[in-house]
Structure 1
Amino acid sequence: MLEPASQTALRDEIARQIKEDQAVLTQLRAEVRPLVSQTRRISPRSATSISLVAADGGNNQLRFDPFLVQLVRVVDSSNNEYCLEAVSPTMSVSALSARQFSDPERPTALGRMMQYLGVEELSKLSHMIRPDDSGRPNSPSWVQVYRELVEWAILFAIVREKDFATDTLIVFDGFLRSKVFAKDLFQRYREGIQEGIDRHLKSNRRRVYLVGVAKHSKVLSRYRLSMALEGVMRSPFPCYVEIPRELEEKAYLWSEYARGDDSVTEGGEINKFVGGKMFFVKFGSGPRDPVWPIDIFLSQSTDHATIFGYLLNDAVEGFPVPLYPRSLQKAHENAALVDFDMDILQDMIFSGLRTTLGTEAPALDVFRLQDADPASRRYE
């Protein structure tokens, strides 16, 4: 605990440092000031809205699992399950790659995406999944990369293979940009998405729009205070504003994460990671309602008025998070594995262990009755 004298000294130090850094805030305010006049009002429109999401690791933790089994599950807002599989951080990368093509006539969604991109191994699909000499991954964090790849693959399959009865807005969980793809594969991935969008328009006269909604953004965090001071997006109606690429580049450590096709100079490096154009969007009518960072698929960025009009209808019904797309929240609810589902999964783990242990299985039952955290009694 800080002593009163230390608190006084620290308060003076903080005040002095803030005064010295005041020029930083002045610069940030100057950067966002033009956005005041560029903010536009959202007019509501009607459309079908669906969403997909992968359950994150926090939803899949098991109380006891020495084999570190993790679940990869992708579900949309209509509770359609596209993927449910168990993986382990220590499993063979080659075996997991082969699993995608176990049915030659119908590979998995990830397998079909790999076929389109012309790769047969996960290590070729992503430089973040690297096996060692024994074929095992070098780092356990590859499971998160694999989960993201599966989610991208499900989005790829929905856009290219699913038929829609009406104009449809697909809401992706997160930005439409990624650094997990190797080389220029994400650029080719975007081309495949565009082919699917064009097919729907040409064959079925259906417009399919794609947006990525994020909960957080380094860009928004950097400029949030400056926007409040300058009155950006403080209007008494739903509104949005396009974020210039130069503001994105100043917020990201790696500028290529903000380099879209619209900012690639002649002779410069191609856009390998970015598939969306960023906007800040406020769906509420209150001047202090939350602002969300949203990516619109690059080729559709000029349709921003139409897209945000569709998304507004979905967001105003947001629950339990107000003014956040309801379809995305429903997808999260459907994908989460909690309560009874987790009890079933835990029993599956013990059943598998019992089969593996054979005659030693009774020791597992004794183990389950032991207190895993006796130190917790100090709180009783």
Structure 2
Amino acid sequence: MFDEESIARLRQEVKETTLRNRWLLDELLSEVECMRQTTVKIQPRTTTSISLVASDGGNNRAEFNPFELQVVRVMDSHGVELLTKVVSPHTDLEELAAWHLDAKRPDDPLGVLMRDLKCDSLYALSPMLNNDPEKKSSGWPLVYRDLCEWAVLYQLITRTKWGSDTLIVRDGLLRSKIFRGDLFVQMYHRIMETINETKSRRRRDVFLVGIAKRTEVLQRYATAMSVEQIFPSGHPLFAAVPMKLQKKAYKWPEYIRSPVSEADTEGKEDPKFNIGAMHFVRFGTEQSDPIWTADLLHAQAADAQKIFGFLLGDAVEGFPVPFYPLCLQRADEHAHVAGLDMDILRDELAAAVRGLLGDRTRQKILDGLMLAYSDIASRRYA
């Protein structure tokens, strides 16, 4: 702990450093001023809302897990299981790709995406999924999980016959650096073709929005926006994030470059990691209510008022995170493997290992280990 002398010295250091960097606060306040005249009041609307979330593999590990198994599980806000696969860092990626592309599973979301993008392997889809033992990263299941979530989104939009206007909500921005080459933008163009066809043939609107609780651009400008009251109390509000603010916050220009070819792209990397149009949005009415970063599909940016109006009612009902879309929170609850589901996973894992051992003496030793790894106290008082 700090003693009295250290606290006094620390206080002086903080004060002096803050004064020396006053120019940075002035710069931030000046930068957000351009948003003052572009802030828009959200008008409430009604529509069907569906959400999906891919669970975090790190949260879906059993207590006793010698094979480092991870459950990749994608659920929607209604509790419908859209994709579930058990993998480990040691899984053969060629066998995994063959499983998804198997003709016996024509509706597998990742298989559908791979076929549409003409990818015959996971490595062709993402350079981060290298099956070479010397280049294979132990963290590849996290990339695989994200690919599964994008695949489910893609299948939902391109294969579903929607009976009403529908808003699909993703937990996270509509940006990704895990796809190979321009496959991410190719996926975007296929999505927009389907959305436009649905609108013209079936007279139905399908919208996609990504919401993020924390982003670098919001972290950079949150204080300045509050001080300058860019989002004053009174109404739910949104505002497009100017490109110059995004460029200040992100180190990689390709992360913010739009999927539409730009005039100044000569000599630069082609746009391929972003399909979204970034906005700040506050669904509450008070200045102290949380502000989120949202991405609309680039081609749907002109529909911002309609999309945020659809999302407003769901966000107001948000719990336990206030003013965060309830559909996202429900999908996350369904995707998380816990309680009875985790007990089933642990028991199945133990049974599989027990079967491998064969010898009864070894099986008894395993049973003892399982008991030792179990957190009995936490179950008793859960």
| TM-score, length of structure 2 as denominator length | 0.93
Kindly indicate whether residue 118 of structure 2 is the aligned counterpart of residue 140 of structure 1: no
SS in structure 2 opposite 1:240? strand
Structure 2 contact 61–68 (Cα < 8 Å) conserved: no
Structure 1 residues 163-216: Cα deviation after superposition (integer angstroms, max 9, x where no partner)? 111111111111001000011111101111112212211221100011001111
- Aligned position for 1:259: 257
Are the equivalent residues in 2 in contact too, given 1:50–1:171 (CA < 8 A)?
yes
**1:203 corresponding residue in structure 2:** 201
Match for 2:188: what amino acid? R
Amino acid at match of 1:81: E
Superposed CA RMSD in Å reads: 1.8
Q: Distance in 2 between matches of 1:283 and 1:211?
A: 15
Q: Please say which of residues 288-297 and 123-132 is displaced more in the overlay.
A: 123-132
Q: Which 5+ residue runs of structure 2 have no aligned equivalent?
A: none
Shift of 1:262: 5.9
1:288 matched to 2:315 = no
Amino acid at match of 2:247: E
Equivalent residue of 1:100, what SS? helix
- Which secondary structure does the structure 2 equivalent of 1:34 belong to? helix
Any unmatched runs of 5+ in structure 1?
none
Q: 1:240 to 1:362 in 2, by over 3 A?
A: same
What amino acid is the match of 1:170? I
Instruction: Give the percent of matched residue pairs that are identical in Structure 1 and Structure 2.
Output: 41
Partners of 1:169 and 1:107 in 2: CA distance: 22
Partner of 1:180: 178
* Equivalent pair of 2:175/2:275 in contact (CA under 8 Å): yes
Shift of residue 303, structure 1, vs aligned partner:
0.7
Q: Is the 8 A contact 1:93 1:131 kept in 2?
A: yes
Question: Could you say if the C-alpha distance between residues 286 and 105 of structure 1 is closer, same or farther in structure 2, counting changes exceeding 3 Å?
Answer: closer
Equivalence for 1:75: 75
The answer as to 2:369 corresponding to 1:367 is yes
Partner Cα separation in structure 2 for residue 215 and residue 105 of structure 1: 35
Q: Cα 1:107–1:161, aligned 2, differ >3 Å: closer, same or farther? A: closer
Going from structure 1 to structure 2, the CA distance change for 1:370 and 1:220 (only over 3 Å counts) comes to closer
Distance 1:16 1:188 in 2: 51
Aligned residue identity for 2:163: A
Q: CA deviation at 1:287?
A: 2.1
Q: Report the AA paired with residue 249 of structure 1.
A: K
2:165 maps to amino acid: D
Alignment of 1:230-245 (within 5 A): 230-245=228-243
Task: Look up the SS of the partner of 2:101 in the other structure.
Answer: coil
User: Counterparts of 2:261 and 2:154 in 1: how far apart (Å)?
Assistant: 25
> Which consecutive segments of 4 or more residues in structure 1 shift more than 4 A?
none
Which sits farther off after the overlay, 311-320 or 294-303? 311-320
Distance of 1:70 and 1:371 partners within structure 2: 17
Give how far 1:105 is off: 6.2
1:86-235 superposed matches below 5 A: 86-104=86-104, 106=106, 108-132=108-132, 134=133, 138-235=136-233
Aligned residue in 2 for 1:353: 353
Q: CA deviation at 1:366?
A: 2.6
Question: Which residue of 1 is the match for residue 245 of structure 2?
Answer: 247
Which residue of 2 is the match for residue 275 of structure 1?
275
CA distance in 1, matches of 2:224, 2:138: 39
Q: Aligned in 2, Cα 1:224/1:72: closer, same or farther, shift over 3 Å? A: same
Q: Which residue of 2 aligns with 1:330?
A: 330
